[in-house]
A and B are shown apart, each in its own frame.
Chain A
Amino acid sequence: MRRPADASTLRLASETPPSDVAAQFEVRYTRILDADGRARAPLPEPFSDPRALTSLYEEMLALRLFDAKAVALQRTGRLGTYPSCLGQEATAIAMGRTMAREDVLLATYRETGTMLARGVRMEEIFLYWSGDERGSAYSGPEAPKQDFPICVPIATHAPQAVGVAYAMKLNREPRVAVCVVGDGATSKGDFYEALNGAGVWQLPLVFVIVNNEWAISVPRSAQTRAQTLAQKAIAAGIPGEQVDGNDVLAVHSVMQRALATARAGGGPAVIEALTYRLADHTTADDATRYRNAADLERARRLDPLVRLRQYLVRERLWSEPQEIAAREACNARVEQAVAAFLATPPREPTAMFEHLFAELPASLHEQRDAVRGRDHE
């Protein structure tokens, strides 16, 4: 062993040994419409057709009106706790629209828009939040029968999405599973295990992180030191990218690409959609306790509906009379759903025993009969 001769050699010895770059990554960010609704790039297909743009706007508008109605129904005691999706309409509608009917959605509780765009009926969503399991039965003719019911625990549906996608790949079906989580979910082990599995088997699975900046009261900055949430994909060998989640055209475009890649056998993807939860966490929450008015005001200026409307108006594709007519039509649809929801007959008290197992085991007959009010034996 060589003895250091003087102070300068000592300093040299403590320096980091030479190293090379072993791997490098980048995370892309996509935006088409800027905050004022000006196109920064040519619109991707199918948006050369003006009707594709206006129908997208109408669907976002319908979601906003539906969501406001749900909050109102909660305030008047018709619904239980409800998580508003105010401000997240662009991401939700773009996801729902780009998925194919036979794809499978596994989503959190705030993806009302995605569910509606997939064909879940408005009255079923009211039913669910009123406390009725039939809201997850998706019994309508257009219903996405294989979609999972909403996931209330955080990120537990992510490993389930891996199973769904594994089955699709094993059976050589050109279908894709879409797993939607929030920013808070990316801190959970379930999320990492799922990303890892999707990467190992190169599954047809698109994870969408709807980063609305808040996990109830905890801001994105307190959730992780990572610069982006999308980069969490990279550790699992999956491409991760960001998109402006309030730009419906950008989300539509990025989703379309990820779905097409996954469908063609190109493997999974992670998309982080940057949006903002303009509402409280749920109707049982008061966000003024933990976030300031100025931040909320800044976020309001990025409203996804306003942005698309500005574009449409500037391009003379939308007018005030059209806006009024669209709102009237949407409100009529929502009111019809409210009426259907309120007219739904209550479940039998014994309904909790139905569908517990394919066939109720004999050992549970006594409890069911007790609920039914019959004497047993």
Chain B
Amino acid sequence: MSEITLVEAVTQALAHELKADERVMLLGEDIGTNGGVFRATAGLQERFGAARVVDTPLAETLIAGMSIGLAAQGMRPVAEIQFMGFIYPAIDQLLNHAARLRNRTCGRLSCPMVLRSPIGAGIHAPEHHSESTEALFAHIPGLRVVIPSSPARAYGLLLAAIRDPDPVVFLEPTRLYRLAKEEVPDSGDALPLDVCFVLREGKDVTLVTWGATTRETLAAADALADEGIEAEVIDVATLAPLDINTILESVGKTGRCVIAHEAARNVGVGAEIAARIADRGLLTLLSPIKRVTGYDTIVPLAKLEPTYLPTPERIAAAARETLEAA
């Protein structure tokens, strides 16, 4: 078996579900003949037909709203928004309709749709292509927000998202699309939603992260290991609903916590995690919780991107601080 990238794992998961379930269909801009601007749907229209792999007009509200209509009729739409900068018209549809359709009809109608979009900076893309605004979506009750951080988790979590009976926003770290390869068997086995993944065990400090920053966090853990510091690394993966228990368990063991994410700090998902640790795990803490995040600025254009993004050095330094404090 050959190794595949994260974006190829996405394609593999989409193809698997298109083949396994005729209710599954894809829609979005340039996803057909062109195979998507990141090639996530490459070859799928050819294999499954233009009626099920649909090039839509250039209209994000239509893409999101249409997905709701399809889902309510029993289809399993997987929509692609080309870049996160273009996703915001869809928030109206997600917040006002997709997330509440089941609730407001007392279960008569439901909305099993997936809205996929690339997320994050680091590929020197033009303006409006680099934001990490996952917190906007995590704030919406009734919505699942999932961010994979490896090819295998992209495959398994996307299968789970498509099979989930409720709406899922599936955010794919642009920077990881082609950065690393691993073997991902096309087994059809989904990974669980609503749980964190412990990527590395350690007893000294808990590093909580998700998405592309998982890579820098693991590098920080390597650097810390060289100094004899054993860091536990948790990939949150499903930001909403949040599996705080796995994080609390880890912090209960280590007594120290660093939360690293690429998104701006203010009212980020890191703040929610820190608040929940304070609420239920404060007395297990040996030192204050640290956050290493993007800054509360507009995400800079390409030239300053490296300054904006959390680095292994910044994450490791924060971890050392928690150890120095106690």
Docked-complex contact B65 and A159, CB < 8 angstroms:
yes
Within 8 Å by CB of B69, from A145, A163, A355, A364, lies A163
**Mask of A169-201 contacts with B, CB within 8 angstroms, 1/0:** 010000001000000000001100110110010
Binds B, one of A36-44, A132-140, A257-265, A287-295: A132-140
Within 8 Å by CB of A162, from B65, B103, B105, B108, lies B65
Binds A, one of B73-81, B114-122, B284-292: B73-81
Within 8 Å CB of A357, what residues of B?
102, 142, 165-166
Within 8 Å by CB of B68, from A163, A200, A361, lies A163
Interface residues of A in 129-160 (CB under 8 A from B): 133-134, 136-139, 145-146, 148-149, 152-153, 156-160
Query: Please, which residue of chain A has its CB at the minimum distance from the CB of B165?
Result: A358
Docked-complex contact A162 and B69, CB < 8 angstroms:
yes
CB distance from B280 to the nearest CB of A (A): 9
Within 8 Å by CB of A361, from B65, B67, B69, B241, lies B241
The reply on B33 being an interface residue by CB < 8 A is: no
The reply on A324 being an interface residue by CB < 8 A is: no
The reply on B145 being an interface residue by CB < 8 A is: no
| Distance of A157 Cα from B102 Cα, bound (Å) | 15
| Distance of A166 Cα from B70 Cα, bound (Å) | 7
Docked-complex contact B70 and A164, CB < 8 angstroms:
yes
Within 8 Å by CB of B105, from A149, A160, A166, lies A149
**Mask of B32-67 contacts with A, CB within 8 angstroms, 1/0:** 000000000000000000011000110101101111
A interface residue count range (under 10 / 10 to 19 / 20 to 34 / 35 or more) = 35 or more
The reply on A343 being an interface residue by CB < 8 A is: no
Within 8 Å by CB of A167, from B59, B69, B103, B106, lies B69
Docked-complex contact A196 and B62, CB < 8 angstroms:
yes
Within 8 Å CB of B69, what residues of A?
106, 159-167, 177
The reply on B93 being an interface residue by CB < 8 A is: yes
The reply on A168 being an interface residue by CB < 8 A is: yes
* A-B interface pairs (CB < 8 A), number: 143
Docked-complex contact A356 and B142, CB < 8 angstroms:
yes
| Distance of A160 Cα from B68 Cα, bound (Å) | 6
Interface residues of A in 88-117 (CB under 8 A from B): 104, 106
| Distance of A357 Cα from B143 Cα, bound (Å) | 8
B51, B57, B66, B242, most chain A CB atoms within 10 A: B66
The reply on B104 being an interface residue by CB < 8 A is: yes
Query: Please, which residue of chain A has its CB at the minimum distance from the CB of B242?
Result: A363
Within 8 Å by CB of A364, from B67, B68, B241, lies B241
| Distance of A162 Cα from B25 Cα, bound (Å) | 15
Interface residues of A in 33-74 (CB under 8 A from B): none
| Distance of A156 Cα from B65 Cα, bound (Å) | 7
| Distance of A194 Cα from B59 Cα, bound (Å) | 9
CB distance from B192 to the nearest CB of A (A): 11
Docked-complex contact B103 and A146, CB < 8 angstroms:
no
Docked-complex contact B106 and A136, CB < 8 angstroms:
yes
Query: Please, which residue of chain B has its CB at the minimum distance from the CB of A352?
Result: B103
Within 8 Å CB of B61, what residues of A?
159, 189-190, 193
The reply on B110 being an interface residue by CB < 8 A is: yes
Query: Please, which residue of chain A has its CB at the minimum distance from the CB of B75?
Result: A167
CB distance from A338 to the nearest CB of B (A): 21
B61, B194, B245, most chain A CB atoms within 10 A: B61
The reply on A286 being an interface residue by CB < 8 A is: no
The reply on B21 being an interface residue by CB < 8 A is: no
Within 8 Å CB of A361, what residues of B?
194, 241
Within 8 Å by CB of B194, from A139, A164, A358, A362, lies A362
Q: Decide yes or no: A197 and B59 within 8 Å by CB, A160-B66, A166-B69, A357-B142 being known contacts.
A: yes
Docked-complex contact A358 and B110, CB < 8 angstroms:
yes
Docked-complex contact A168 and B73, CB < 8 angstroms:
yes
B57, B59, B107, most chain A CB atoms within 10 A: B59
Docked-complex contact B62 and A136, CB < 8 angstroms:
no
CB distance from A262 to the nearest CB of B (A): 15
The reply on A354 being an interface residue by CB < 8 A is: yes
Docked-complex contact A163 and B65, CB < 8 angstroms:
yes
Q: Decide yes or no: A137 and B108 within 8 Å by CB, A163-B68, A357-B142 being known contacts.
A: yes
The reply on B219 being an interface residue by CB < 8 A is: no
| Distance of A158 Cα from B64 Cα, bound (Å) | 11
Docked-complex contact A145 and B70, CB < 8 angstroms:
no
Within 8 Å CB of B269, what residues of A?
none
Docked-complex contact A356 and B194, CB < 8 angstroms:
no
CB distance from A143 to the nearest CB of B (A): 9
Within 8 Å CB of A136, what residues of B?
104-106, 108
The reply on B141 being an interface residue by CB < 8 A is: yes
Docked-complex contact B62 and A159, CB < 8 angstroms:
yes
Residues of B within 8 A of A (CB): 25, 51-52, 56-57, 59, 61-62, 64-75, 77, 92-93, 96-97, 101-110, 141-142, 165-166, 194, 241-245
A-B contact pairs, 13 of them (CB 8 A): A133-B103, A134-B106, A136-B108, A138-B108, A148-B72, A160-B65, A163-B66, A170-B51, A200-B57, A354-B107, A355-B106, A355-B107, A361-B194
Residues of A within 8 A of B (CB): 104, 106, 133-134, 136-139, 145-146, 148-149, 152-153, 156-168, 170, 177, 189-190, 193-194, 196-197, 200, 352, 354-358, 361-364
Known: A159-B62, A170-B52; 20 extra A-B contacts, CB below 8 A, are A106-B69, A133-B104, A134-B106, A139-B108, A149-B105, A149-B109, A152-B96, A156-B92, A158-B65, A160-B69, A160-B93, A160-B97, A161-B69, A166-B66, A167-B70, A170-B75, A177-B69, A196-B62, A357-B166, A361-B241
| Closest CB pairs A-B (n = 6) | A163-B69, A159-B65, A167-B73, A163-B66, A164-B69, A361-B241
